[in-house]
Chains A and B, each alone.
Chain A
Amino acid sequence: MIKLENIHKIYKLDKKHTLHALKGIDLHINKGEIFGVIGLSGAGKSTLIRIINMLETPTEGRVIVDNADITDYKESQLRSVRKQIGMIFQQFNLLSSLTVAKNVAFPLELDGCNSKEDIDKRVKELLKMVGLEDKADVYPAQLSGGQKQRVGIARALATNPKILLCDEATSALDPKTTSSILKLLCQLRDKLGLTIVIITHQLEVIKECCDRVAVIDEGLISEMGNTIDIFANPQKLLTRRLVSAVVRKDLNALLEYTKLSDTYKAGAKAWFELLFLGDKAEDPVIVEVATLLNVKIGIMGGQINRIQNQPLGVLVVSVEGDEDTIKRAYEELQKRVYRAHLVGYQVEEA
C-alpha cells in the first residue's frame, strides 16, 4: 500500500549547515495493517510521515502509494492524492472558528461538488462513527482533548481515504483517553479496511495496537518487525531500552531498590528474570523447577503485558541454594521459558 524506497531528506538550515534528517529509509507498509514508527524526538519520524503524503518532498528516493509513484507529482496532482490519505495530529489542528460539524464538513466542501444534503448526511454518519453525535454544533474550544481528536479522526476520514496517518496523535492525551482513541483506530481499521501509520515516541501506543513496528534512530530504521517479536526479542540497545521501560515498568523500580551483587557468596539468593511468551506463559514453570531440584523459589515481582493478543510476561524470582544448585536451576529455567537471565545475587545484610 505504501512503499518508501531509499528515502533521504536533507534540510538546508543556512548556507553552510545542512541537516540530514533521513538517511535512506526503506519501508513497505501492507494494506490493512497498523504500522507503528517509534523513535526519540529528533529521530526523523515527523519528516517520515510527511513524506508519505508529500507534505515534505524527499531529497532522494521514491514514494509509492497505492501502486502509484507520487514522487514527481505536481502540486495539483498531489492534492487529489492527499484526499485519499487522511491525517491526524498531536495538536488536533481543528479550526476554532468552525463548529464540530463544520470542521468535519471542511474536506467535503472543498470540491464544491457535494450537495449540502449529502454533506450533512455524511457528517452525521462520521460523528456517529466516532461517538460524538451530540457535539455537532459545539465549537472545538468546548471539547476535551480526546473529543477533539475524535473530531480530527472524523474529519480525516470524511473523504473515505484508504490510508490514515497519525502524527503523535495521542501524545497530548492522558493514558485512558489514549487507550480509547487507539481502540477506535483499531475498530476503524477492521470496519473500513484502513491502512494506518502511527508515528509516536510512546511505546505503549505501539504495544496496544500496532501489527508491525519500525524503530527509527538518527534517520535510519534500526529495527523492524512484528510488534510481539520486537517486544520479546529486541536487538538494538535503543529498542531494548524502550521496550524495557514498558515491559518491565513495574520491575525496574524493584530492581533499582534492591542491592544485588555480581558475584556469588555463600548463602546468597540468585535473582533471575524470566520472560514468558505465548503458550508457555501458562505452564507451571516455577513449581516444576522447584520440585525437580528441591529448591526454594520466591517470586519477587512480575508483570504481564498483552501484545497483539499474546501474553508477554516478565517475572523476577529468587532462588536459594549453593552455587551448583543455582546453576542447575538457571539451566532448568532457561529450558522452560522464552528467555531467562541472571540479574544478580542478593546477599543477606549482616
Chain B
Amino acid sequence: MVDFLLSLGFTPYASKITSLLVDGTIDTAYMVFLATAISIIFGVPLGVILLVTSKGYFWESPVFYNVLGTIVNALRSIPFIILMVAIIPLTKFLVGTSIGTTAAIVPLTISTIPFLARLVETSLRTVPYGLVEAAQSMGTSPFKIIKKVLLPEALPELVQNFTLTVIVIIGCSAMAGTIGGGGLGDIAIRYGYQRFQVEVMIITVVVLILMVQLTQVVGDFITKKVDHR
C-alpha cells in the first residue's frame, strides 16, 4: 500500500496524513450517525409530547408543557463546548471514559435531543389542526392520530429538520475534537492548529464541507420524494 502510494508520488508523510484523514472521516461519520440516530429516537417522541400537551391539543396540560419546555430551553441554552465539559462525569458513567469518539456521542446526543425536540414540535404544528379534528371525528385514538396523521403529514418538514440536525451534529462533532473527542475536529486541532500544518487544516475543512453538502443533497432529495402537497 505504502509502496503503491509512493509510486504515485506520495511521500511517507503524505500517506500518513492520508490514512489519518480517512480514519478521521470514518470516526466523524460514526459519531454523527450514532448521535443522529439516538437523538431521533429520543427527540421525536419528546417533540410529539411537547406538541400534544400544548394548548388546544388532545393531551393539553399547561403545567407539564411549561415544565418540559423550560427544561428543553435550559438545555438548549448551554453552549455545546461547555456542556461537553460539564457532563464529563455522566459520560464516564455511561461509556466508562470521557475520551474518544464513543464518549463524544454522549454530549452530542444530549445537546441535540432538546434542539431536535423543538424542531419536531414546530414541524408537527404545520399540520393543520383540521386534520386532527377530522381524524377525531372518525373515532381515531390519540396514538393513531400521532402515528397516522401528525407524523406522516409532517414528514417533509421532519426530513428537512433531520437534515439540519445532521449538519449541526457534524459541526459539533468537530468541536468535540478540542477535548479529545476524535474525528476530523481532533485532527484539525492537533495537526492543523497545534502543529501549524495548514494543509491538514484545509483538507479537514474541505472534507467537512463535502459532508455537509452531501447531507443537504440527500435530505432535499428525500423531502421531495415524500412531499405530495
Q: Tell me the minimal C-beta distance from B98 to chain A in angstroms.
A: 43
A95 touching B131 in the complex, CB below 8 Å, given contacts A106-B148, A139-B228, A141-B229: yes
Question: How distant is the Cα of A95 from the Cα of B138 in the complex, in angstroms?
Answer: 13
Question: How distant is the Cα of A91 from the Cα of B73 in the complex, in angstroms?
Answer: 35
Cross-chain contact A95 with B149 (CB below 8 angstroms):
yes
Question: How distant is the Cα of A323 from the Cα of B149 in the complex, in angstroms?
Answer: 72
Task: Write out the residue numbers on chain B whose beta carbons fall within 8 Å of the beta carbon of A53.
Answer: 137
Question: How distant is the Cα of A82 from the Cα of B135 in the complex, in angstroms?
Answer: 10
A55 touching B139 in the complex, CB below 8 Å, given contacts A95-B149, A106-B148: no
User: Any chain A CB within 8 A of the CB of B130?
Assistant: yes
Cross-chain contact A80 with B139 (CB below 8 angstroms):
yes
Contact string against A for B residues 124-144, beta-carbon threshold 8 Å, 1 for contact and 0 otherwise: 000010110111111111001
Minimal Cβ-Cβ distance residue in A for B132:
A93
Question: How distant is the Cα of A97 from the Cα of B149 in the complex, in angstroms?
Answer: 9
Question: How distant is the Cα of A47 from the Cα of B131 in the complex, in angstroms?
Answer: 17
Cross-chain contact A83 with B138 (CB below 8 angstroms):
yes
Cross-chain contact B134 with A87 (CB below 8 angstroms):
yes
Question: How distant is the Cα of A85 from the Cα of B137 in the complex, in angstroms?
Answer: 8
Count B-side interface residues using an 8 Å CB cutoff: 21
Task: Write out the residue numbers on chain A whose beta carbons fall within 8 Å of the beta carbon of B130.
Answer: 89, 91, 93
User: Any chain B CB within 8 A of the CB of A301?
Assistant: no
Cross-chain contact B153 with A95 (CB below 8 angstroms):
yes
Cross-chain contact B139 with A91 (CB below 8 angstroms):
no
Cross-chain contact B133 with A97 (CB below 8 angstroms):
no
Task: Write out the residue numbers on chain A whose beta carbons fall within 8 Å of the beta carbon of B153.
Answer: 95-97
Question: How distant is the Cα of A110 from the Cα of B138 in the complex, in angstroms?
Answer: 9
Q: Tell me the minimal C-beta distance from A158 to chain B in angstroms.
A: 8
Question: How distant is the Cα of A110 from the Cα of B142 in the complex, in angstroms?
Answer: 12
Question: How distant is the Cα of A93 from the Cα of B140 in the complex, in angstroms?
Answer: 14
Could you tell me which residues of chain A, from 71 to 94, have a CB within 8 Å of some CB in chain B? 78-83, 85-87, 89, 91, 93
Q: Pick the contact of A110: B128, B133, B140, B226 (CB < 8 A).
A: B140
Task: Write out the residue numbers on chain A whose beta carbons fall within 8 Å of the beta carbon of B144.
Answer: 110
Task: Write out the residue numbers on chain A whose beta carbons fall within 8 Å of the beta carbon of B229.
Answer: 96, 141
Question: How distant is the Cα of A82 from the Cα of B131 in the complex, in angstroms?
Answer: 15
Cross-chain contact A55 with B138 (CB below 8 angstroms):
no
Task: Write out the residue numbers on chain B whose beta carbons fall within 8 Å of the beta carbon of A81.
Answer: 139
Minimal Cβ-Cβ distance residue in A for B153:
A97
Task: Write out the residue numbers on chain B whose beta carbons fall within 8 Å of the beta carbon of A159.
Answer: 138
Question: How distant is the Cα of A82 from the Cα of B139 in the complex, in angstroms?
Answer: 5
Minimal Cβ-Cβ distance residue in A for B142:
A75
User: Any chain A CB within 8 A of the CB of B152?
Assistant: yes
Question: How distant is the Cα of A165 from the Cα of B130 in the complex, in angstroms?
Answer: 15
Task: Write out the residue numbers on chain B whose beta carbons fall within 8 Å of the beta carbon of A89.
Answer: 130, 133-134
Could you tell me which residues of chain A, from 177 to 223, have a CB within 8 Å of some CB in chain B? none
Minimal Cβ-Cβ distance residue in B for A165:
B137
User: Any chain B CB within 8 A of the CB of A107?
Assistant: yes
Could you tell me which residues of chain A, from 263 to 315, have a CB within 8 Å of some CB in chain B? none
Could you tell me which residues of chain B, from 27 to 54, have a CB within 8 Å of some CB in chain A? none
A82 touching B138 in the complex, CB below 8 Å, given contacts A93-B128, A97-B155, A97-B226: yes
Minimal Cβ-Cβ distance residue in A for B151:
A97
Task: Write out the residue numbers on chain A whose beta carbons fall within 8 Å of the beta carbon of B149.
Answer: 95
Interface, chain B (partner A; CB < 8 A): 128, 130-131, 133-141, 144, 148-149, 152-153, 155, 226, 228-229
Name 6 interchain pairs, CB-CB below 8 A, sorted by A: A93-B131, A93-B134, A95-B152, A106-B135, A110-B139, A165-B137
Q: A80-B139, A165-B137 are in contact. List 17 more A-B contacts (CB 8 A).
A: A55-B136, A78-B139, A79-B139, A79-B141, A85-B137, A89-B130, A89-B133, A96-B229, A97-B152, A97-B155, A97-B226, A106-B135, A106-B148, A107-B139, A110-B138, A110-B144, A141-B229
Interface, chain A (partner B; CB < 8 A): 53, 55, 78-83, 85-87, 89, 91, 93, 95-98, 106-107, 110, 139-141, 155-156, 159, 165
8 closest pairs, A vs B, by CB? A93-B134, A79-B139, A87-B137, A82-B139, A139-B228, A93-B130, A107-B138, A83-B139
